[in-house]
């Protein structure tokens, strides 16, 4: 993945339009405006009924069975072309994920129900933003976040405060959950009309020492395996395998 370019001040307004899912350029520029946070709280799901719990358990067991395809069977070829972003190949929930941070500083990872909602999960990872984006451009990236299981506690897995961080199997520091700061919310607000894209935020948000504020936003598929495991798969526009997967595991 080529490094994003900073928008030039002389660019016309036509080049500063927000990105939508139907048009996903490799870069964009966003005009900085006085912050006015309009993000909505994430919707809280109602508790599952006993019937829903039984159905989920049955579905999980059913999916564990091997798929046997007779030699004479042929799967039809899809004619939908680039509709891969609408396919939930893992049976999960579609959400929005954003990697952002100053190029020389630690990267932040935020998950939202959609771009117009407040983040329901925000992590700070001990990886420089530029390094992570560079590594993703060279191949598949697998981020695993592990923590110890405590049977006496009933904390949700995404509410754990600290994680051991692994990148492609190599221990790379740690990840910390934190509440969104004012700066974080300003970033989310600036990107509220962006569904997918890669770019650099306006120069006013850069840091003299840590450099430009870069971001990468994509749709993710959230798959809840159990109370001790969740996985977030980046959904690729062409329907190919995910370039980034994030695993949360309690062991």
| pLDDT tens track for 186-195 | 999 999 999 9
User: Which residues are registered as beta bridge partners of 226?
Assistant: 229
Q: In sequence order, what are the residues at sequence separation of 6 or more whose Cβ sits closer than 8 angstroms to the Cβ of residue 193?
A: 18, 19, 20, 115
Q: Map out the domains of the chain as residue ranges.
A: 94-251
Instruction: Check residue 216 and give its pLDDT.
Output: 93
Q: Is the pLDDT of residue 74 over 80?
A: no
User: Which residues are registered as beta bridge partners of 177?
Assistant: 123
Dist. CA 47–CA 60, nearest whole Å: 19
Dist. CA 35–CA 187, nearest whole Å: 9
The pLDDT of 109-115, averaged and rounded, is: 97
* CB-based contact 173:125 (threshold 8 Å): yes
User: Model-level pTM?
Assistant: 0.69
At residue 138 the predicted structure's pLDDT band, cuts being 50, 70 and 90, is confident
Instruction: Check residue 6 and give its pLDDT.
Output: 45
Dist. CA 16–CA 197, nearest whole Å: 13
């Amino acid at each position: 993945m080529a490094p994003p370019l900073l928008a030039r001040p002389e660019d016309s307004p036509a080049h500063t339009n927000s990105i939508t899912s139907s048009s996903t350029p490799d870069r964009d520029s966003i005009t900085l405006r006085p912050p006015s946070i309009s993000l909505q709280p994430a919707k809280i799901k109602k508790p599952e009924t006993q019937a829903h719990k039984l159905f989920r358990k049955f579905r999980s067991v059913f999916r564990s069975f091997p798929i046997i395809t007779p030699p004479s069977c042929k799967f039809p070829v899809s004619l939908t072309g680039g509709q891969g972003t609408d396919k939930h190949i893992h049976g999960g929930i579609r959400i929005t994920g954003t990697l952002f941070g100053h190029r020389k500083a630690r990267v932040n990872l935020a998950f939202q129900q959609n771009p117009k909602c407040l983040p329901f999960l925000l992590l700070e990872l001990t990886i420089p933003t530029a390094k992570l984006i560079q590594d993703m451009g060279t191949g598949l990236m697998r981020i695993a976040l592990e923590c110890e299981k405590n049977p006496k506690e009933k904390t949700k897995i995404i509410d754990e405060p600290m994680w051991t961080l692994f990148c492609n199997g190599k221990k790379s520091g740690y990840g910390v959950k934190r509440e969104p700061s004012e700066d974080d919310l300003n970033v989310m607000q600036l990107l509220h009309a962006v569904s997918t894209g890669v770019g650099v935020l306006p120069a006013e948000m850069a840091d003299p020492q840590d450099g430009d504020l870069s971001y990468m936003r994509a749709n993710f598929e959230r798959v809840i395996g159990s109370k001790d495991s969740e996985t977030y798969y980046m959904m690729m526009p062409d329907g190919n395998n995910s370039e980034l997967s994030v695993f949360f595991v309690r062991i």
